[in-house]
Structure 1
Amino acid sequence: MMFDVVVVGAGVEGSATAYDLIRRNRRVLLLEQFPLPHNRGSSHGQTRVTRKAYPQPFYTEMMNFCTEQWTQLQEKAGDVLYRQIGYLALGEKNGRFLQDNIFAMTQHGAPFAILSPGELREKFAMLRYPERIGGVLDREGGILMSDKCLRALQRLFVENGGVIRDGEQYQSLTPGEVIHVRTNRGEYQCRSIVFACGPWANKVLSTVGLSLPLKPMRITVCYWPELNPGSHSADKLPPFFEENCCDGHSIYGLPSEEYPGHVKLCLHHGPDIDPDKRDACDYLWTVDLLKDYVSKHFPGLVPTPSVVESCIYTNTPDKNFIIDRHPKWKNIVFGAGFSGHGFKLAPAVGQVLADMALDEPVRYDTSHFRLSRFGTGVGQAKL
């Protein structure tokens, strides 16, 4: 069967790519190794943080587009996908982290407010931080209902003529002007292929002679009970992030939303893993670090989580994405290493991957995402 593009991986990046392609009236096949829906990768779960506040201006630029796209998707889906309740960046009041966020948002016209330590304490009385800690409030940040977002992308993709084959595992390909793609169920032909395989990226990309500097990491997702139910609800506390604050690691969290009376608060770090054996590791130390953090800074929460789940990050050395073409076969395109902050950016990532797959002009400066930034020999093709 012949397609214009085959997309391998139906997480949020692959699904956004497939949806972008189908809106350009291309014939598209979306392959997923697991039966849908599933919770084995990086795109599952009820909520994700969305924000324009970034230390890197190129992400803020992309988020201007993504915020519009999530809003449009919400209208087309007829469901609540995006709740604009703000986002809070926490850091030293004159420190580089907050200053970089302010610079990026100013450069790209994103609305924000600077909170002094006193203003932070007054506005968010449930938090207890030292007097040196201030904040930047991103007014257009908020929450993405991630499971709903993913389902909406896939449903609209199919309604517009796209084909999804789930429970079907990619195995290999023969490159050329027409690519022959083999799976455990059959064979397809396409003019280009996009790999968006999350923590399985290197396993899959090895079939085209590539090895990327990626580290899958198990993230422990913890939910902490409120002592006073409703005290940390979405109308009182936005999603938040503090950089390098917990034994050198960052913290992120969301208000009481997924589990009634529980705040989602997680370490932005974890042990390296094999994605097929993500729980075969020591991760309890991450919970211990979080217990100490909650005790110090969230006096309105019980400092022991009552719900513990897991997710997978796939990190690059610099925590920026890899979005590129195969060095030999330009119709083989890949996106990987979304490093725990890629969900919100999926509409822009999907657009870039679609541009590359169709050999059309790319809408953004992608020099930040090229594989070559890691030096010669990294990811060298042997095919």
Structure 2
Amino acid sequence: MSTAEVYDYIVIGAGVQGSFTAYQLVKRKKKTLLLEQFTLPHTRGSSHGQTRMIRKAYDQNFYTHMMDEGYELWAQLEREAGVKLFRRTGLLVMGPENSRSYLDFKSTLEKNKIPMVVLTPDNFNQHIPNVILADGDGALVDTTAGVLYADRALKVAQGQFHKLGGVIKDQEKVTDIKPGLTVTVSTSAGVYQAKGLVITAGAWANELLAHVNLHLPLEVMRINVCYWKEKVPDSYHVNKRFPCFLLTEGEEAKDHIYGLPSNEYPGLMKICYHYGSETDPDQRDKKTDCADIDILRRYIARYLPGVIPEPAVVESCMYTLTPDRHFVVDRHPAYGNIVIGTGFSGHGFKFGPVIGKLLCELSLGEVPSYDLSPFQISRFQTMKSSL
């Protein structure tokens, strides 16, 4: 058997979180290997696609706090690479005005002094054309929000990592992980060793964690990513300053509908339901569930008069969900030199630079920049005992 290649750190999974973690490590002068099981770029995980939403509007303070720095880190990467990664559009948040979910969004923005505009039924259409505000719904705009160019951002993060001396190896599926003072990672093509390992494998996280005797309560969902045709071209276009939007229909995140202005496909708006059907990540295209598309058809027919209520393009993506829909950012309970970032629950892309920084800090044994108690693995044991 050939001698193992030795690195300071190995990161498994070259999605947005793994790519930014590897980038942060190499910026700290650490010899870093980024491993990916598929050929890059690929559409098999959760980080592909042309656009994602970026926002400070959240119903929890800790996410809003993290996004303050998130915006700064995205802007820093734009400057370093000389590439535009973000477009400001604002985010329209709508929902039953007395519902807990809508009020939590409003309260978090107010508490954190995030620039916002509260709209009324009287002035709504002056600000937001071609949308009908439902009776009893409140509406506000997080004016800091916008569109992230996701594929471009991922390519830039990997490019900067490589430019700083990082090593990326794709088409290498991890077959074994041996923990210890030195971690040994075996793949379909080689054997590597490092003093620290970061696992950011998305939907495949538990498959890898089984090698280190850990199982997390993660649910993998296939999400339909739907694009809908404008009746009049450019009615909802990013250039016309049409905002992203989030409809907080019920009390749970899974009831949310979200949309982005037409941009990536000419004349098509991206409008999706924030939920899907459970799937095996390796078999996700064998089974499709269209219940969410029926919900979206009804919503669009009623509230978006300028959109044809039939999807023109349907793609797919995966969410890796935790029971509370908060992230996992923590060290392995038994092996302090194995760090885990997973369970980003369909809202993690915008946090990529911050999560990368946090996973880097955990790997280096530093005090993390934020309170990570909402993201600790131990919370699942607490939840389990309270059920």
- Report the count of equivalent residues: 378
One-letter amino acid of the structure 2 residue matched with residue 243 of structure 1: T
**Per-residue Cα deviation, 1:8-41 (whole angstroms, up to 9, x for no partner):** 0000000011111111111110000001000000
Q: Does 1:21 align with 2:11?
A: no
How far does residue 3 in structure 1 lie from its aligned partner after superposition? Answer: 1.2
Superposition pairs for residues 174-213 of structure 1, below 5 Å?
Answer: 174-213=178-217
Aligned 8 A contact 2:89 2:241 in 1? no
In structure 2, the partner of 1:33 is 37
Identical aligned pairs, as a percentage?
A: 44
**Per-residue Cα deviation, 1:50-70 (whole angstroms, up to 9, x for no partner):** 000000000000000010111
In structure 1, the partner of 2:173 is 169
Structure 1: which 4+ aligned runs deviate by more than 6 Å? Answer: none
Q: Residue 255 of structure 2: which of 241, 249, 253 is its match?
A: 249
In structure 2, the partner of 1:294 is 300
How far does residue 120 in structure 1 lie from its aligned partner after superposition? Answer: 2.4
In structure 1, the partner of 2:370 is 364
For 2:303 and 2:65, locate their aligned partners in 1 and report how far apart those are by CA, in whole Å.
32
Q: Does 1:226 align with 2:230?
A: yes
Q: Which moved more, 1:88-97 or 1:177-186?
A: 88-97
Q: Residue 309 of structure 2: which of 303, 309, 312 is its match?
A: 303
Aligned 8 A contact 1:168 1:185 in 2? yes
Aligned 8 A contact 1:173 1:179 in 2? yes
Q: Residues 304 and 246 of structure 1: is their aligned pair in 2 closer, same or farther, counting only changes over 3 Å?
A: farther
Aligned 8 A contact 2:96 2:248 in 1? no
Q: Does 1:335 align with 2:341?
A: yes
Q: Secondary structure at the match of 1:6?
A: strand
One-letter amino acid of the structure 2 residue matched with residue 280 of structure 1: K
TM-score scaled by structure 2?
0.94
How far does residue 279 in structure 1 lie from its aligned partner after superposition? Answer: 1.9
For 1:226 and 1:217, locate their aligned partners in 2 and report how far apart those are by CA, in whole Å.
28
Aligned 8 A contact 1:93 1:116 in 2? no
In structure 2, the partner of 1:381 is none
TM-score scaled by structure 1?
0.95
Superposition pairs for residues 14-163 of structure 1, below 5 Å?
Answer: 14-163=18-167
**Per-residue Cα deviation, 1:233-254 (whole angstroms, up to 9, x for no partner):** 1133211111235997210110
For 1:246 and 1:365, locate their aligned partners in 2 and report how far apart those are by CA, in whole Å.
26
Q: Secondary structure at the match of 1:210?
A: coil
In structure 2, the partner of 1:236 is 241
For 1:19 and 1:88, locate their aligned partners in 2 and report how far apart those are by CA, in whole Å.
33
Unmatched 5+ stretches in structure 2: none
In structure 1, the partner of 2:281 is 275
For 1:191 and 1:357, locate their aligned partners in 2 and report how far apart those are by CA, in whole Å.
9
For 1:202 and 1:100, locate their aligned partners in 2 and report how far apart those are by CA, in whole Å.
32
For 2:113 and 2:359, locate their aligned partners in 1 and report how far apart those are by CA, in whole Å.
26
For 2:250 and 2:136, locate their aligned partners in 1 and report how far apart those are by CA, in whole Å.
13
Q: Residues 296 and 245 of structure 1: is their aligned pair in 2 closer, same or farther, counting only changes over 3 Å?
A: farther
Q: Residues 242 and 73 of structure 1: is their aligned pair in 2 closer, same or farther, counting only changes over 3 Å?
A: same
Aligned 8 A contact 2:178 2:211 in 1? no
How far does residue 283 in structure 1 lie from its aligned partner after superposition? Answer: 1.2
Aligned 8 A contact 1:117 1:132 in 2? no
**Per-residue Cα deviation, 1:191-240 (whole angstroms, up to 9, x for no partner):** 11000001111111111111111111011011111111111011332111
Q: Which moved more, 1:95-104 or 1:316-325?
A: 95-104
Aligned 8 A contact 1:246 1:293 in 2? no
For 1:240 and 1:158, locate their aligned partners in 2 and report how far apart those are by CA, in whole Å.
35
Q: Residues 231 and 364 of structure 1: is their aligned pair in 2 closer, same or farther, counting only changes over 3 Å?
A: same
How far does residue 94 in structure 1 lie from its aligned partner after superposition? Answer: 3.7
Q: Secondary structure at the match of 1:304?
A: strand
Q: Secondary structure at the match of 1:323?
A: strand
In structure 1, the partner of 2:7 is 3
Q: Secondary structure at the match of 1:109?
A: coil
Aligned 8 A contact 1:118 1:131 in 2? no
One-letter amino acid of the structure 2 residue matched with residue 54 of structure 1: Y
Q: RMSD of the TM alignment (CA)?
A: 1.6
